[in-house]
Structure 1
Amino acid sequence: MKKLLHALAAAATIAAAPSLAKEPGTPTMMPSGGSIGVPVGANPPPGLYFIQRSEIFRSNVYSGDTELPIELDVNSSAQQLHWVPGFTLLGGSYRGMINIPLVHATQTAFGDSTSESGVGDVILSPLNISWMLQPGIFVQSGISFSLPTGKFDTAPGAVNLGSNAPAAAIDIGFSYLRDGWNLSAHANYIMYGENDDTNYKSGNEIMLNWTAMKDLGGFSIGPVGYFRKQVTDDENNGFAYGGTTSGRAEQYGIGVGLSKRFGPMELNVNYVHDYHVRNTAGGDKLLINFTTPIGKP
């Protein structure tokens, strides 16, 4: 159960931070690295779970490979409820989830700062299924939907907490949980709808998060990281941003993760540095996940 509780913080359930990837000044559906440190292939035992996922992100904005004089600081906290009712679907364990992000973002450009606080885009994940292939070896797949509930402003330089467009993601996860190891990989394909206020449609993205942590007796530690790449071009069907589109975003980061259990609760802390950034915001992240069961199904 110790390892399985981690599975609740999968990337498809995590609030995004504002950046200049995709449509300028709007957040991605999922932040890079959302499920690092998590055995994403396995659902936890039946029950109702609460997760608070916090992120501290200090970054600079890049146009192409060039760092711009624009800083983006984001402090976010995603409140999540996960429901594992204990029945099987398609031969696997079923899980449902809702994610409500609270975000404070500050953008500093050429000496001027703009801040915004509030609720970001809410994510619903109604279908997640996990299959045990062998004892300690799991695969998972699911689908998530992002609702345009976060603040959006068309003013130049605005710090937006939402994308003002629907989005959906399909994902697949794998976890090897034997001999104290958490070897996990989590792939997502993210698809964006059109922003009705700007007639801008962001390109689709792939994101891969990975974990290689080992239980050393009382705590687990090991390297973690992510890779993100935009695979289709943006489309500008209006006159916003002068009719131009953003370039495709790319990003990869590597860091270290630490997990420890306190009775029925678990704390997971990850630090990641971006070593490659293109057409997005990149820098340093501190990701903190707190998981606790709050009831039976």
Structure 2
Amino acid sequence: MNKPAQSRKTFAPRVLAAVITAAGVAVTAPASAARIGSTPQFPVGITMGSPTGALPPVPGLWLIDKGSFQGADSVNAYGQRTGTTTTVWTNNAQLMWVPGFKVLGAQYAAFVRNLGAVNITLKTPTGLTSQHSGLPDTEIIPANLSWKLSQHLYFDAELGIYLKDGDYKNQPHRLNIGQNATTYEPNFSLSYLDDNWQLTAHALFDINGWNHDAGYVNGEKVGYRNGTTFDLDYTLFHKTGHWSYGVVGYFLRQISNDKGPAELNGGKPEQYAAGIGTQYDFGKVKLMGTYTHDYHARNIGQKDMLIVYLSVKAL
């Protein structure tokens, strides 16, 4: 976070089917205004490979660092390429503190994450190239609770809050990194862990606040509120000694309407991706890599993404 061998053989495919079923239920660069089609606060796919339903069994402080490379083609509401492409490099770090006590029968932890930097290069069909680097909005998770439901099954619930501290300025054609809006992010994870398998589904909702400096319409500064987005990251890893490997992926969809001027409306984004991942456990250090491809995308960037993950027990 041992059943008889026969039980494990039937359980794993069933859980995989459940995860894939749940997944069924432009990356565009952040625009000069928060709007439909802009990048959601949660870095989609960032928890793939991780058993997010379970916390480490011993108290301590962990440093987790994830670097990623994304190459994307912007697509419209019909999945057709618009001719705009983006290249994104990110470094996303987090600090995780597990103090070693329980709350409501669950293991407690606190996080600070989304620490790092983002570099975006955007190319338009006319050949215009824009590039910008900056800091994303920091996310704090004051309470994370993980319950052990059975010998191998774990359930986790947490609430994240994104601060308005990322790089943002309301200027025409500027590639902003921050969203200039407070976002609340309830998270829920279910993980099955035994000697041979790691199966995890991590679901979350980004409930966005108002960006009161979102853009200009007819020369007037306007506000805007992105609709709520739903994300599901999933993992099916088989364990062999210190190695783990298998299938990863994610599903993203905006599930509510935006509020603000229609001129800023770029369409509700959605995307589905699948890929592969592998991890090696050195003990206090874990190293992992994942690769995914978007098989379906609308109003967003249809991308290929590579993530390299490093986890170190600092204290």
Alpha-carbon distance between aligned partners in 1 of 2:28 and 2:166, rounded to the nearest angstrom:
11
* 1:248 aligned residue (265, 268, 280): 268
* 1:88 maps to 2:102: yes
Contact 2:167 2:176 in 1 (8 A): yes
Contact 1:17 1:161 in 2 (8 A): no
SS in 1 for 2:62: strand
Alpha-carbon distance between aligned partners in 2 of 1:119 and 1:31, rounded to the nearest angstrom:
13
* 1:67 maps to 2:81: yes
The structural deviation recorded for 1:63 is 2.0
Contact 2:277 2:289 in 1 (8 A): yes
The structural deviation recorded for 1:17 is 8.3
The structural deviation recorded for 1:136 is 2.0
The structural deviation recorded for 1:164 is 0.8
RMSD: 1.9
Larger radius of gyration: 2
Alpha-carbon distance between aligned partners in 2 of 1:287 and 1:30, rounded to the nearest angstrom:
15
Alpha-carbon distance between aligned partners in 2 of 1:186 and 1:195, rounded to the nearest angstrom:
27
Query: Structure 1 residues 245, 25: closer, same or farther in 2, change over 3 A?
Result: closer
SS in 2 for 1:115: strand
Contact 1:82 1:98 in 2 (8 A): yes
* 2:205 aligned residue (189, 201, 212): 189
One-letter code of the match for 2:47? S
Contact 1:51 1:81 in 2 (8 A): yes
SS in 1 for 2:257: coil
Aligned to 1:29: 41
* 1:108 aligned residue (114, 123, 131): 123
Aligned to 1:76: 90
Matches of residues 140-155 of structure 1 in structure 2 within 5 Å?
140-155=156-171
1:248-275, Cα deviation, whole Å (9 max, x unpaired):
1110000001010123100111000000
One-letter code of the match for 1:101? G
Contact 1:17 1:76 in 2 (8 A): no
Taking every aligned residue pair, what percent have the same amino acid on both sides? 31
* 1:289 maps to 2:313: no
Query: Structure 1 residues 154, 245: closer, same or farther in 2, change over 3 A?
Result: same
List gaps (5 residues or longer) in structure 1.
Answer: 2-15
TM-score for both structures, normalised by structure 2:
0.84
Aligned to 1:10: none
Give the stretch that moved more between structures: 148-157 or 191-200.
Answer: 148-157
Give the stretch that moved more between structures: 208-217 or 269-278.
Answer: 208-217
Alpha-carbon distance between aligned partners in 2 of 1:273 and 1:191, rounded to the nearest angstrom:
26
Aligned to 1:278: 298
Contact 1:19 1:61 in 2 (8 A): no
Alpha-carbon distance between aligned partners in 2 of 1:84 and 1:124, rounded to the nearest angstrom:
15
- Runs of 4+ in structure 1 over 6 Å off: none
SS in 1 for 2:205: strand
TM-score for both structures, normalised by structure 1:
0.88
Aligned to 1:177: 193
Aligned length: 277
Contact 1:54 1:287 in 2 (8 A): yes
Contact 2:179 2:211 in 1 (8 A): yes
Alpha-carbon distance between aligned partners in 1 of 2:67 and 2:250, rounded to the nearest angstrom:
17
